[in-house]
Amino acid sequence: MKKKLLIVFGVLIIGLLSWMGYSSIKKLDQKAESEKIVQRLSSFATKLKLENINTGQSTIFIYFNSDCHFCQWEMKEIQKNIEKFEDYQLMLASFEPKSEAIRFLNEHNLSAYYVEAHPDLLTSTIMGGVPQTFIYKNGELEKHFKGEVKIEAILQVLR
């Protein structure tokens, strides 16, 4: 009886370890694929099914959520400094419903910069939390900020 329990327990442990290993490898592969996609603005826009993107223009893509206090601070700062972004393509995207994202951006007079992407595409392409800022120059990823970032840091990369 003890021998059967040990065998069953051993098989369960091996199965659990195998599943954990597979899950880890799958997650690493997904992360590597995500990092590859975001390297070029054209592949990023294609993956997210974004239209009317000027891949030749310096671009700031910000992934946000209206409930995130770091995102709220960042949008206030962008609103205060919007004239500094006139020469750049500013795109704001969220995984939350469009109506909530637009409501939030309207509070900061930034709804004109909203780009709609399917939430599943966003969360599978951009790994991690919000906010995240991607800065592209000549269609190539120049800098990726995770977390809140000061406006001066964004503009420094673009200069």
71-112 pLDDT per residue, tens: 999 999 999 999 999 999 999 999 999 999 999 999 999 999
Distance from C-alpha of 29 to C-alpha of 107, rounded to nearest angstrom = 38
Q: What is the pLDDT of residue 29?
A: 63
Closest CA to 145 of 153, 4, 26: 153
Residues of the chain with pLDDT under 70: 28-29
Q: Directed axis angle between helix 2-37 and helix 41-48, to 10°?
A: 120
> How distant is the alpha carbon of residue 108 from its chain centre?
20
Residue 50 identity (one-letter amino acid): L
Which helix or strand (DSSP H or E) is residue 11 part of? Answer: helix 2-37
pTM: 0.84
Long-range contacts of 35-42 (CB under 8 A, 24+ apart): 37/125, 38/125, 38/126, 38/134, 38/141, 38/144, 39/140, 39/141, 40/139, 40/140, 40/141, 41/136, 41/139, 41/140, 41/141, 42/139
> How distant is the alpha carbon of residue 78 from its chain centre?
18
